[in-house]
Amino acid sequence: MISESRLIEEFKELVQIDSETKQERAIADRLTEKLIALGFTVIEDESAAKTGHAAGNLIATLPANTDKSIPKLFFTSHMDTVKPGIGIVPVMDAEGYITSSTDTILGADDKAGIAALFEMIRVLKEQNIEHGQIQLIITAGEESGLMGARSMDSSLVDADFGYALDSNGTVGTIAVAAPTQARIVMEIFGKSAHAGVNPEDGISAIQVAGKAISRMKLGRIDHETTANIGKFEGGEATNVICDYARLEAEARSLVHEKVVVQLAAMKASLENTCADFGATGKFQSVIVYPGFKFTEDDAVVQLAQRAASKLGVPNDIFHTGGGSDANIFNSFGIPTANLAVGYEFIHTTDERIHKDELVRAAHLVTEIVRETSQLTKWK
């Protein structure tokens, strides 16, 4: 049986280990100790050398405890948090919500997922529940743009399918689709001049940028696609016509081709506006991560829904507008759905999770292992 008190205490322990993104060394070391104690073989990969983070990803493997041919299963959560995440002091109120008593985030995103997985492993061992090989992949740098997962050697993942525990929503609900994301840098090169003496001789990069933005369709493009200008830099003094401006932007869509179309439209707006004003523009874009999309007909979704139904919790599916490590593992060719963990108000100092949702998350992943043990092959 799930031990509520043990689970909650472990969750509280984990969130008190400072682990803002790029500062994952302490949490990686503690997680490694715990995983080894639970019987896993643990590898820390070499991704830190590429990402500049303080630790790499942890790839932990637990061998099967049966001779049956059971599909290999993996779960993933991330060890890092957003800011402010230093000095978290978890407390539980009378209603059962766990929050931080200090002016910080809680870190349920994603240490609730890690705690649920650790409790699952303890229950499997205590009850001698039959299972095939299980990998737990705990990534660094998820909060800095999926840096850890993006830098991982895909050959280290030895699984037929798996689940990320890294979505908001009631435990039992499943994120079955997430967008492709592109990052964009736009530069405008104008011509400087004295703003009070001869402004007509200058070409304001700021003005050109503003006109270009006004010609772009931004925000909600359609029900599957969004775009946003997030950062604007340019200018040094009010008496100088600005000759350089830089914009940072993004585009996302659940349909990859729509991202391509949106990028082309934004690029055309920039280039045409620059031509109109006699400026020069430079447009650079890169796909940060690819999207994924499942339906209720896909085996990875059906198995999780069966597990949720047996627990009597909701098993609705939904599409999310945000990315997660599930995007990367799907790009490796490993079907990966993203399970809701039950945390609320993430990335804010109001972040919280109800103890019952934490317990349900541990029950759900345990039931997923049970369901997997009934399979002899992966579809």
Annotated binding residues, written as ranges, equal 347
Q: Residues 177, 350: contact at Cβ < 8 Å? A: no
Rounded to whole angstroms, how far apart are CA atoms 12 and 239? 55
Helix axes 355-372, 4-15, angle to 10 degrees: 110
Measure Cα distances from 126 to 3, 66, 166 in Å.
11, 15, 26
Question: Could you tell me how many residues make up the chain?
Answer: 379
Choose among 283, 260, 259: nearest CA to 270: 283
Residues 126, 334, 167, 47, CA torsion sign:
positive
What is the Cα–Cα distance from 50 to 367, expressed in whole angstroms?
37
Instruction: Give the three-state DSSP class for 132.
Output: coil
Give catalytic status of residue 93 as yes or no.
no
DSSP strand pairing (174-178 vs 180-189): unpaired
Alpha-carbon distances, residue 173 vs 79, 169, 315, 339, 342 (angstroms): 22, 7, 5, 6, 9
**Annotated catalytic residue within 142, 143, 325, 367:** 142
CA distances from 302 to 63, 299, 305, 372 (A): 25, 5, 5, 11
List b or e across 181-194, with b for residues whose CB sees 16 or more CB atoms inside 10 angstroms: bbbbebbbebbbbe
Distance CA 261, CA 55 (A): 37
Catalytic residue among 44, 80, 224, 367: 80
Which residues define the annotated binding site for Zn(2+)?
Answer: 347
CB-CB contact of 112 with 358 (8 Å): yes
Do 361 and 7 contact (CB within 8 A), yes or no?
Answer: no
φ/ψ region of 153 (left if φ > 0, alpha if ψ in -120 to 50, else beta) reads beta
Q: Is position 46 annotated as part of the catalytic site?
A: no
Listed in sequence order, the DSSP H helices in 38-88 are: 48-51
Q: Which residues are catalytic?
A: 80, 142
